[in-house]
Amino acid sequence: MVTPEAAVLHVDMDAFYAAVSLVDRPELHGRPVIIGGGGRAVVLSATYEARALGVRSAMPMARARRLCPQAVVVHPDHDRYAAVSGAVMEVFRQVTPLVQPTSVDEAFLDLTGTARRWGTPWEVAEWLRGTVAAEQQITCSVGIAPNPFVAKVASGQAKPDGIRQVRPEEVVGFLHPLPVGVLWGVGERTQEQLARFGLTTVGQVAHTPRSTLQRIVGEATGAALAERAWGRDRQRVRPRVRERTIGNGQTFRQDVDSPEVVLRRLLLLSERVAARARAAGEMGRTVQLTVRFADFTTLSRSRTMARPSDVSREIFAAARQAFESLGLQRARVRMVRVTLSGLTPAGDTPVQGLLDEPEVGWREADRAVDRASARFGAGVIRPASLLPAAQEVAPA
């Protein structure tokens, strides 16, 4: 358990994918907007106006359109999201090196030892929100608490575009009136199990004997709930939890039997994976290709590169080799995915140019594209082979 004087921030971007997508489309602010593709795609994100009508992330697009037929549908821009996420995380690291990203749009910050330079946790939260808004034109909500769990709950209560601070002496009073679903480890099934015993609030769980909770939901989960219901959390903020893999996949609107179309998709996916790797400061050595066919049969092939890479061209070359090794001619393909693994920090990986590579090579070119994407949006610079196929797929 963290010490009472410790201060942990949980910073969560508000409707991140939707907010970033609307930066260049201010006329859509205040309207229901869904970020996603068509056909068999799912909702990636939605504005709060669409959420109020029942639209949720991971919902099939067909259902989202039925719930909110007046919504404007905007296709995702994954390269832009990765670039903005990387820039936001760098803002966090200006305050403290103890930053733990948990996804592209949220992170924990441990403010221990920062008061002399940055002021109170509330002042830090205000500075972060103002800086992110000024630099990226998006908003974020911040929870401040003695430990990560309570800070995460607090940021949820602050949404959208707010701050909620919970001091050590306020933790129990803050948590106990809330629904049991705010507790980590309580999903739909666990909620149903607890509700059968009349346990619907955190306070009710807190005042239930540990042994009873363990009989209801199992030994490990019951013990964890008994601790969290009182605001206890033994976790620490661990800087820069590294991803084990970085991947991106797409489902075709209609099953595809053209190898040329599949290869164009692999080029696009390789670009996205490489951009995410660069944003995360990672390089990978193994590229895995996953292909799902019309009958839902799924095959995977991998290729290991001679050196770790975050270069789009090199990742695509490996993905292409993997695809060609399948020997497909007219097979009907439903989905493809490119995954980079064997990750190492880019700063720890010496980069040795190829003999025929110019002094300013593909890595520098990719980074120039990253800078342009962060400023003007992804797609401003793109291989010509991708242009005719922009409408072939929906996000997986």
Give the residue numbers of the binding site for Mg(2+).
12, 105
For CA atoms 262, 268, 270, 272, the dihedral sign is negative
Q: Is 154 left (phi over 0), alpha (psi -120 to 50) or beta?
A: alpha
Residues in the chain: 396
Q: What angle do CA 61, 391, 65 make, to 5 degrees?
A: 20
**Any catalytic annotation for residue 90?**
no
| Catalytic residue from among 5, 27, 49, 106 | 106
In this structure, are residues 206 and 229 in contact, taking their beta carbons and an 8 Å threshold? yes
Alpha helices in the chain (DSSP H): 16-21, 48-51, 61-67, 78-95, 115-118, 121-136, 148-158, 171-175, 188-195, 202-206, 210-217, 219-228, 259-280, 312-324, 362-376
Residue tagged 């430990």 (tokens)? 147
Binding residues: 12, 105
Tell me whether strands 333-341 and 282-293 are parallel, antiparallel or unpaired.
antiparallel
Contacts (Cβ under 8 Å, ≥6 apart) of 359: 353
C-alpha to C-alpha distance for 289 and 336, rounded to whole angstroms: 7
* For helices 312-324 and 259-280, angle between their N-to-C axes, nearest 10 degrees: 140
| Catalytic center residues | 106
